[in-house]
Amino acid sequence: MQLYNKLSAKERAELIDKSGKKRLTLSFYKYAKIGNLQIFRDHLFITWNTMEVLGRIYIAHEGINAQLSLPADRFEAFKAHLDSITFLKEVRLNIAVEQDNKSFLKLKIKVRDKIVADGLNDNSFDVRNKGIHVSAKQFNDLIEDETTVLVDMRNHYESEIGHFKNAITPDVDTFRESLDIIENDLNDQKEDKKLVMYCTGGIRCEKASAYFKHKGFKNVYQLEGGIIEYTRQVKEQDLENKFVGQNFVFDDRRAERISEDIVSNCHQCGNPFDLHTNCANEACHLLFIQCNACKDIMENCCSSRCMEINRLPYEEQKAIRKGQGNSNDIFKKGRADHLSYKKDLRNILNRSENEHS
Ligand SMILES: [Zn+2]
Ligand SMILES: [Zn+2]
């Protein structure tokens, strides 16, 4: 049984060139409870190695985080293998925009303590020294307290469609950014204020709460199990629900409705709407909020430019993509300049009105 790479990066690169096969680069991650990491790790390695998968994969007791490439013609087999693993069934696979046959030259599956690349040096503080976990009931009481500062530890595109009432929702793209913002904002109140945090499933708060304690915050609390568990407890115990809108989730559902309130707007027409979509143009794939009316008009694209590209035959789309390099929009997640409301849409509406008149 081969459990480790035999080829050097150089040998692998030559092999990829010689095979002439197109490779797909993709990524996925999933939070799940994994028991025996070594067995799971070896199982993945043996199976994926035979499929010529290359990449960097982290597994931990909290889940899996994978970035990898594989020959395009192995994709179905790979997907079938993922589907055979209970917690990876139908996991969302993010296919890279810029394909590079040599994005990875080795298969590295590493057992780690954490799967989240949070930009923090764990050695600098004790992650086990975390904040006080609170139940939904305790959380509801705590956030009514005048000395409480309630902080949403998620990114801007998550809190945009749903959050707790009166929560601070840092306008950040990464977890790391929000830590500094919060610390700066509360710098002279570290001892008097109660810092109460929440995130989707609680994992991000685990690390954040330890970080803030390390930074000198005296009263640090976190919502146990995050929004997901809060919602379950609220229903089970018939508590008041203080979360408004949708809970953004990292799978194909994209969001779970927690309350009927719609707290965000379509990024194109501005009407109240709270469901994200990805631009249908594969080279763009921008994550943004698009109402159903705009989805029809814009053919599920974020801009008229993307509509044009998306209408082209697939081969032509690929040819265009080739020369262009990576679209940065994919990382903007609703921030792309052209979304600052509906410019494209207006142009299209005007055009079609003129055509009809
Ligand atoms: Zn709209
Ligand atoms: Zn687009």
User: pLDDT per residue over 140-196, tens digit each?
Assistant: 999 999 999 999 999 899 999 999 999 999 888 888 888 999 999 889 999 999 999
pLDDT by residue (tens digit) across 1-56?
778 888 888 899 898 888 888 998 887 777 788 999 999 999 999 999 999 999 98
Distance between alpha carbon 209 and the CA centroid of its chain, in Å? 20
> pLDDT confidence of 302, banded at 50, 70, 90?
very high
Q: Are strands 63-71 and 23-31 parallel, antiparallel or unpaired?
A: antiparallel
Q: Which residues contact 72 (CB under 8 A, 6 or more apart)?
A: 21, 22, 23, 24
CA 103 to centroid of ligand 1, rounded, Å: 37
Q: Are strands 54-60 and 63-71 parallel, antiparallel or unpaired?
A: antiparallel
Using CA atoms of 143, 149, 152, 157 in order, give the dihedral in degrees to the nearest 10.
110
CA 337 to centroid of ligand 2, rounded, Å: 11
Say which ligand is closest to the CA of 341: 1
Nearest to 153 by CA among 137, 170, 138, 136: 170
Say which ligand is closest to the CA of 294: 1
CA 329 to centroid of ligand 2, rounded, Å: 8
199 belongs to the catalytic site: yes
- Residue 343 in tokens: 């410019």
Predicted TM-score of the model (pTM): 0.64
CA 270 to centroid of ligand 1, rounded, Å: 6
Say which ligand is closest to the CA of 299: 2
Amino acid identity of residue 236, one-letter, is E
Q: Is the pLDDT of residue 96 over 70?
A: no
The Cα–Cα gap between 156 and 160 comes to 6
